[in-house]
């Protein structure tokens, strides 16, 4: 420590064999089931950290797995809200047209004219600092959903505009069917598979949005653990130099983004009626 640099050396005199399904610290599964059986551990006083620890001694592997729940939940809940908003506004604009269509189009153009990341940052900064982590979670999810529905709304509008001129739509109107029934029972099913594929491609954007905001310190904050919160600790280059494994949370982010993109491409190809 003369140069204030931590130096580590291997001690081969003591051996701690790795054991599977052994007893350790107590925990609660899903907050309901108590237990103390762990997948892997070593005898005391040894410790097992497969991906190392952070600056406070927390196991990185456990935090990455725990943070996956938050990051993936934000993506899924956010796309559900965005899906509902896109279907509602896009369907109304395409079916009724006129001033409703013009109003929806102007709103979507205004939202899409702003750069996404600065707008995310500005809205996230408006969230009160005294909010609980749960309210911050819902606030970030709502912000991401409110800014992502415009693309889906335009796709729905274009499809509805084309389908409302079809013969079966005219027949349903002449039979006295309500607009809500015509849209939900006759129009949406014809291109719903394409909407699902488009929605699956939007999930990565939600996850990246949460990760970016939390990395910049404007999204989720401790004690909530997400991939973005974990990467926030890697902002200091001095910490990364001493603990290079702090960059490991970026690996599941890349893998999940690629997985959702591949799934979305597969769904889009499978739903293509002109595919041979």
Q: What is the pLDDT of residues 168-189, one digit of tens each?
A: 888 888 888 887 788 778 777 7
pLDDT the model gives residue 275 = 57
Please report, in tens digits, the pLDDT of each residue of the chain (276 residues total).
466 666 777 778 888 888 888 887 888 877 788 888 888 888 777 788 888 888 788 888 888 988 888 888 888 888 888 888 888 888 888 888 888 888 888 888 888 888 877 877 787 778 887 888 778 888 888 888 888 888 888 888 888 888 877 888 888 888 888 877 887 787 777 777 777 777 777 888 888 888 888 887 777 877 788 888 888 888 877 777 778 888 888 899 899 988 888 887 787 777 665 555
Q: Is residue 52 part of a domain?
A: no
**CB–CB of 230/249 below 8 Å?**
yes
Q: Is residue 38 part of a domain?
A: no
Q: Is residue 219 part of a domain?
A: yes
Q: Is residue 75 part of a domain?
A: yes
pTM: predicted TM-score of the whole model, two decimal places: 0.76
28 beta partners: 34
Q: Is residue 29 part of a domain?
A: no
Provide the domain count of the chain.
Answer: 1
Q: Is residue 9 part of a domain?
A: no
Burial of 217-253, coded b for 16+ CB within 10 Å and e otherwise, reads ebbbbeebbbbbbbbbbbeeeeeeeebeebebbeebb
| C-alpha of 39 from chain center | 28
| C-alpha of 192 from chain center | 22
Q: Is residue 92 part of a domain?
A: yes
Q: Is residue 24 part of a domain?
A: no
Question: The tokens of 202 are what?
Answer: 């939007």
Residue 19: CB atoms within 10 Å: 15
| Residue 132 CB partners (closer than 8 Å, separation 6+) | none
Task: Give the residue among 230, 224, 30, 232 at the shortest CA–CA distance from 135.
Answer: 224
Question: Which CATH number does the domain housing residue 153 bear?
Answer: 1.10.3720.10
Look up tokens 């598979």; give the residue: 193
Q: Which domain holds residue 116?
A: 60-270
């Amino acid at each position: 420590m003369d140069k204030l640099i931590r130096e580590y050396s291997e001690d081969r005199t003591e051996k701690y064999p790795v054991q599977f399904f052994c007893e350790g610290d107590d925990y609660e599964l899903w907050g309901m089931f108590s237990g103390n059986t762990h997948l892997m551990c070593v005898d005391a006083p040894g410790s097992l950290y497969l991906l190392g620890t952070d600056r406070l001694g927390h196991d990185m592997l456990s935090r990455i797995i725990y943070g996956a729940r938050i990051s993936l939940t934000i993506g899924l809940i956010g796309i559900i809200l965005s899906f509902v908003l896109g279907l509602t506004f896009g369907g109304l604009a395409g079916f009724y047209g006129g001033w409703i269509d013009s109003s929806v189009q102007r709103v979507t153009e205004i939202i899409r004219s702003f750069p996404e990341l600065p707008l995310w940052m500005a809205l996230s900064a408006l969230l009160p600092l005294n909010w609980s982590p749960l309210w911050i979670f819902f606030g970030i999810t709502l912000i991401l959903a409110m800014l992502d529905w415009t693309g889906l709304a335009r796709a729905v509008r274009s499809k509805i505009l084309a389908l409302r001129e079809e013969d079966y739509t005219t027949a349903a109107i002449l039979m006295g069917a309500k607009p809500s029934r015509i849209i939900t029972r006759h129009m949406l099913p014809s291109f719903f598979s394409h909407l699902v594929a488009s929605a699956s491609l939007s999930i990565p954007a939600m996850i990246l949005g949460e990760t970016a905001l939390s990395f910049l310190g404007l999204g989720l904050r401790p004690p909530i653990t997400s991939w973005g919160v974990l990467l926030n600790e890697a902002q200091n280059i001095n910490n990364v130099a001493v603990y290079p494994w702090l960059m490991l949370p970026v690996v599941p982010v890349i893998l999940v983004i690629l997985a959702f993109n591949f799934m979305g491409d597969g769904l889009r190809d499978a739903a293509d009626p002109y595919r041979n």
